Chains A and B, each alone.
Chain A
Amino acid sequence: MESTNAKYVSQKISKTRWRPVSSSALQQPHIFATGSWDNEDNKISIWSIGDHGLPGMEDELEGDPQLLCEYRHDGDVLDLQFLDQDRIVTASSTGAVTIFHHHQNSQTISVARQWARAHRNPCDNAPCTGVVCNSPEIVTVGEDGRIILFRADQEGAVRIIENADSNSIHAVTFLRTTEILTVNSIGQLKLWDFRQQSSSPSQILSLTGDRVPLHCVARHPNQQHIVATGGQDGMLCVWDVRQGNTPFSLIEAHSAEMWEVHFHPTNPDHLFTCSEDGSLLHWETASHSDMPSFLQGGRNNSMISRSAMAPAGGNQSLISAWLAGDSGKGRLETTHMLPSQTLSVNSLDVLGQCLVCGTDEEAIFVNRQVPV
């Protein structure tokens, strides 16, 4: 784990995201966007860590992010996603949802579209807390408990689910093209189907008796029924949304709020989490052996887990290592990715072999040699 030096950027980073690389070009990503929070003037910024392919590059520039361009953002950037190669959608603490266009030739940013009070409360602003894209569709959620579906090319909202949640919704992700998952501040994971007209979720999952707020949710890239969530107590939960009302495994990951959880997009045996306690963890499951993992005995003392049930008639080769219940030692390896303790790591993103994260100490860390 080399070259994870901090780059101090004079703004607290709330979100970092890699620009997607086209799947045909087998490149490593080299451009990422960040959003700031808690500033008088918040900004979204686009950075480059230089192209690996360029010859004759000076050693000192390599790995050190260079600012390409930035743009003023009204309110904290509470979520940020790339809609496509050139456009970024942000969720603001003013309740606005904005699409920014990054002009690569001139290295400037402009506002392509904005829905100014998408999320709102009668008296105050309702921050928009999460945004997820599946171009051209954009789904946003906020503290007002609304779920809104937008299309990038349409002026108004396509669909608004009012009062979807009695509490604040903290994050959203796509489960399938027409289904989304939201997590809220009373520890519930809700499944919504846009094909249905009703304004109630098709399924609610929660840890019974526990109302710990959930902050992030991520779906396994290949197996759409496996979902990971992280919450206020730093517990990493892995759920199977097809069955049961409770998570499959619970892992004591962090000592404070877990802000983001990500499966590696191409290598989903690897999971990354970051937390308020200032650590960024890389979780790696051992690849499944011939014997299905849930039939192996033993207990890993760093995990609290529930026993798994064999899915009836399921195809055993597709059973994910993440659904291991009681499992043997060394099944789950954890590595700290940051060199020393810092303030909260608010956000991370991983693509290929590159990892970027932003902290409340106003620093960005980039690691280009993540062992996946």
Chain B
Amino acid sequence: LDELDRQTLCLCLTHTHTPFLTCFNSYLPVCVSGATGSGSSLIHVVRKDEDIYSPILRKLFNESHHIFVGLQTIREDLPSKNKKPQFVSISKSYRSVIRACMEELQQVAVSTQDAELATQYGNQVSILLAIELIWNLCEVLFIDAVPAGSLLLHLLDWVRLHKADVDEKAREVLQSESPVEHHGYWDVVVSYVLQGRLEEARQMLAKQAAQQYADKNMYKLMDNLLSKMPVYNPGSIHTLTEFDVKWRHWHEEVDRCLQDKSFASNVHLELICKILVGDEDTLLEHKELLSTWYHFLVTRLLFAHPTIKPTELHYYAQSCMAMFLDSRSAPETLDSILLAAFDFDIHQVIKDCSIALNNWWFVAHLTDLLDHCKLLQSHNLHFGSNLREFLLLEYASGLFNHHSLWQLAVDYFDHCPEFGRVYLELHIERVPLDTERKALKVLRICEQRQMPEQVRSICKIMAKRALRNNRLGSALSWSIRAKDAAFATLISERFLQDYCTRGTFSDLDLIDNLGPAMLLSDRLTFLVKYHEFHKLYGEKCFTEAAKLLLSLITAKIAPRSFWMTLLTDALPLLEQKEVSQTHPHLSLGLYDLTVICVFWSFQEEDIELTKVELLRLALARNLAKAIVKEGTVDA
């Protein structure tokens, strides 16, 4: 593929019907799947975005589309205090969708036999985990924007949600023969304490206490300390300052226990006491239990600064990360994103995520939600739209390349006020139309948004296809829908040609029932009226037929090639008595036209002279009768 230059690649792929590269954007990297060695003459299928083809991730796109549309319809005029809970609940819906996807991917990753597939699923699971982690933090810090006091509680929830292995270990320990002798017992207790789950820690310790008669008092003391730790209650009548005072008292008590060496004989209880007092070195000794620097951060805050304010977070975040990661040289992408979040630098978060992830889904939806919360300063990007719109447009364009998910993209474009419409107009014309049903759906989208150009072009495509397959009725219906007079003329010509060759009309159910649509094109009107003439003649309503024929001739909507046919049709009529006797002007009219025709026929060479002769004879006879009739005075 390296040998082909980009232009050639474009050309190759536009001739297939698969819409993989309908928008070849030379700025975005192209990822090749299934590439074989160079020198092969095969055309490779190039996929820009692997994720949208995964069946499980598709559910993510569909469900989040539903949530997105619901979000856009929240009324703007509600006061912001009513809207915040709605935004939080929408954020939670998005997250639950991510979780559901993650669980399903996890199940499939475990159960699949294919090792490569398992790794791929595993990668997707870890990406989704990271995404949910970031989103959750953004929800706590930006969308919910809780004040000091509650902030720590939310952060604790955040950490607990993402460290589920504690429960597994606890289960394992509790289900063993003798939990207190299980090698993981103390790890579980310490993990509970680190996560602030003191009730559960107390329950676990109670098991130990029941068996240790010697240290009974120590365990009682520890239990006492654990039970008395103040936890901030947002709904209570006590203010944050009061809570702070209470907490300091408790902290001093714990410190005193440590100074008094009350737990000196039991190394585990001493450890727990040190953690409770917030000793950093102790915490750092348990990196494996904490496993991440942000867990370390939250634990440290819990036991040292529970009344932390949102604005102070970033100092602690910086230092915690530095302390935790001193062995490694540079922080990973996820770490810097989280740090930017603690910094309340929303734009940095979005920017880093855009770079790190290969799909615009996350940044598009998160930015949209943040924009609704009025958290993004609207600085315009230098290509005219703001950040939210840019990301949504990118995401939706990616969706439009998908053979099935393009329908979702339409709604995203609808909610991009600046460029959405233009993007939609360009994309919608390129959706491949295999069946009429799909064409009707696309047309509905265009008509709802008043895009007459696109409607015309789609109808024309369908009309041409029908014409190619000799489905003239269908082609005519499509050109009427497109209001395409030129094409309707073309098809009417085909109908007339068919009549000339076969002698009968086809598709009468259509032609008879056109109604006002027949006025679209002259040729079409002529076709309908000409058939009507034949019907009248067949029903022996000669007078009506004659009148119609005359009007057809005089209105000059008949094509020249048809004049001879018309005049030939007029022949038998002229012989009819009632015509010549009651409608002399018909004869005169026909006479006029015949003169023209005869002059014309001297210039054309392929006119049957016998016909012309017959006509002239009939006309002359008729004219004679007419003149006589005209001249006769009624007595």
Contacts and interface: CB of A to CB of B under 8 A. Distances in A.
Interface of A: 6, 8-12, 37-40, 76, 78, 93, 121-127, 129, 143-145, 163, 165-168, 185-186, 188, 190, 204, 206, 208-211, 213, 232, 256-257, 276, 340-344, 360-363
Nearest to A122: B469
B469 A145 contact: no
B305 interface: no
Given A168-B436, A168-B474, A232-B440, 20 more contacts: A10-B58, A11-B55, A12-B404, A39-B403, A76-B435, A78-B435, A143-B436, A166-B471, A166-B510, A167-B474, A185-B474, A186-B477, A188-B513, A190-B509, A209-B515, A209-B516, A213-B440, A361-B62, A362-B59, A362-B404
B438 interface: yes
Ranked nearest first, the 8 interchain pairs of A and B with the lowest CB-CB distance are: A166-B473, A166-B507, A121-B469, A8-B59, A10-B55, A10-B58, A166-B510, A127-B435
Contact of A211 (B507, B508, B517): B517
A165 B509 contact: yes
16 contacts: A8-B59, A10-B59, A39-B403, A39-B404, A93-B435, A121-B469, A124-B465, A145-B474, A167-B474, A208-B515, A209-B516, A213-B440, A257-B440, A343-B408, A362-B62, A362-B404
A5 to B, nearest CB: 11
Contacts of B556: none
B567 to A, nearest CB: 29
Contacts of A204: 509
A166 B436 CA distance: 15
B437 A78 contact: yes
B516 A166 contact: no
Contacts of B436: 127, 129, 143, 168, 185
A161 B598 CA distance: 46
B469 A124 contact: yes
Contacts of B465: 124
Interface of B: 18, 55-56, 58-59, 62-63, 65-66, 69-70, 403-404, 407-408, 434-438, 440-441, 444, 448, 465, 468-474, 477, 480, 506-510, 513-517
A247 to B, nearest CB: 15
A341 B448 CA distance: 16
A6 B468 CA distance: 42
A235 B268 CA distance: 77
A342 B411 CA distance: 11
Nearest to B55: A10
B509 A166 contact: yes
Contacts of A12: 404, 407
B473 A167 contact: yes
A123 B468 contact: yes
B59 A188 contact: no
Contacts of A344: 441
A10 B56 contact: yes
Contacts of B516: 209
Contact of A186 (B58, B63, B441, B510): B510
A124 B468 contact: yes
Contacts of A276: 441, 444
Contacts of A121: 469-471
A38 B438 contact: yes
A143 B474 contact: yes
B340 to A, nearest CB: 32
A251 B434 CA distance: 32
A257 B444 contact: yes
Contacts of B469: 121-124, 126, 144
Given A38-B403, A186-B510, A186-B513, A127 B473 contact: no
B474 A76 contact: no
B50 to A, nearest CB: 14
B441 A8 contact: no
Given A39-B404, A121-B469, A186-B510, A127 B474 contact: no
Contacts of A122: 468-470
Given A78-B435, A143-B436, A344-B441, A211 B69 contact: no
Contacts of B514: 211
B444 A361 contact: no
Nearest to A12: B404
A204 B509 CA distance: 9
A32 B510 CA distance: 38
A12 B444 CA distance: 17
Nearest to A209: B515
Contacts of A209: 515-516
A39 B405 CA distance: 9
Contact of A343 (B407, B507, B515): B407
A72 to B, nearest CB: 14
